[in-house]
Structure 1
Amino acid sequence: MRMPKKKKKKKKKKKKKKKKKKKKKKKKKKKKKKKKKKKKKKRRRRRRRRRRRRRRYFISSLQSCCREK
């Protein structure tokens, strides 16, 4: 003979208690002071070119004068 099926008892689910989260205190960040950059003044370099043309001509003229013929 077949045995009648037994009804399974439903287990009651236990409700989990929610843990309260502790709020963390935020640390205040110290603001860093920005250092001002000093602007360097650019110095303009002036190059003076000396012309030595005169001297050359002078020497050459002298040579031409004093050259032995």
Structure 2
Amino acid sequence: MISNKYKQLAQDAVDTEKCAKCKRPFDPADTRFDGQARSGEKPFCRGCVDICQGTEIADHWCPVDAWLTGSER
């Protein structure tokens, strides 16, 4: 279940048309796996999601992880 905080993150991303993590504007034309297009319905760009999910750091925790798990840890 996604908390109200994360619902607000998603709404802010829609309102500002910027990634909630890197704050860069979404670019719908940049559909590379690590591009600036929005990643599905997430409030993050594909680049931030790729970096998060591609890390091998054991204790990595970022806004993308919090969004995906619905937990602040």
Q: Same fold (TM over 0.5)?
A: no
Higher-RCO chain (CA-CA 8 Å, sequence separation at least 6): 2
Bigger Rg, which one? 1
Q: TM-score range by the shorter chain?
A: under 0.3
Between structures 1 and 2, the one with greater helix share: 2
Normalising by structure 2, we get a TM-score of 0.20
Normalising by structure 1, we get a TM-score of 0.21
